A and B are shown apart, each in its own frame.
Chain A
Amino acid sequence: RKEVEQDPGPFNVPEGATVAFNCTYSNSASQSFFWYRQDCRKEPKLLMSVYSSGNEDGRFTAQLNRASQYISLLIRDSKLSDSATYLCVVTTPGSARQLTFGSGTQLTVLP
């Protein structure tokens, strides 16, 4: 079983749509959770950290369900500039700093 599993997509949505991405992680000992975005051939950039209580940053909402080992990202009112690959990232169990990345979900927002 993959350590961090994501639906690879692609997700093609019209501007203004709401889109949700899901991610599961295999090791219940993982402690920190993040969503990064990666544009084509660029570096990963932190989008947001994910907390058990859920957190929101503008149009982006992230949720964590530790019992189900499941992380989600919701993007509301999607913009053309949201087109990217969204990476689900967890810290490796036993390490506070080693990041384990999912393969990413590709999003294309269409005009």
Chain B
Amino acid sequence: EPEVTQTPSHQVTQMGQEVILRCVPISNHLYFYWYRQILGQKVEFLVSFYNNEISEKSEIFDDQFSVERPDGSNFTLKIRSTKLEDSAMYFCASSEKQRTSGKDTQYFGPGTRLTVL
């Protein structure tokens, strides 16, 4: 069964450093997403991406965050200058655009645990 993959599984960084989290969505999917989950809290939407541009973003996704699809397979989330409060699990997800149905199942990757020291 095809799945979303993410690397690294755990990233430790110093406050103020830049990090790039990588995702490989399911190959025939067209929509890509990033969510985060702070330890003990709920999953929160960050951004969605379609046709090489951001389609929606949340208030959390400020100027410190950016996303990119640098090639045909990878989808990345960059945090320019990490803060302590960025420590969280970051999940990538993808979905296949369905023309005939409004429902579009999002499949999540295993996540990258980001620890900012």
Interface residues of A (CB under 8 A from B): 31-32, 38, 41-46, 49, 87, 92, 95-104
Contact = CB atoms under 8 A, between A and B. Distances in A.
B106 A97 contact: yes
B109 A43 contact: yes
B75 interface: no
What class of interface size applies to chain B in its complex with A? 20 to 34
B104 A96 contact: yes
B108 A32 contact: no
Interface of B: 31, 33, 35, 41-45, 48, 55-56, 58, 89, 91, 95, 102-111, 113
Chain A at the B interface: SS class: loop
Contacts of A43: 91, 108-111
Contact of B45 (A38, A49, A92): A92
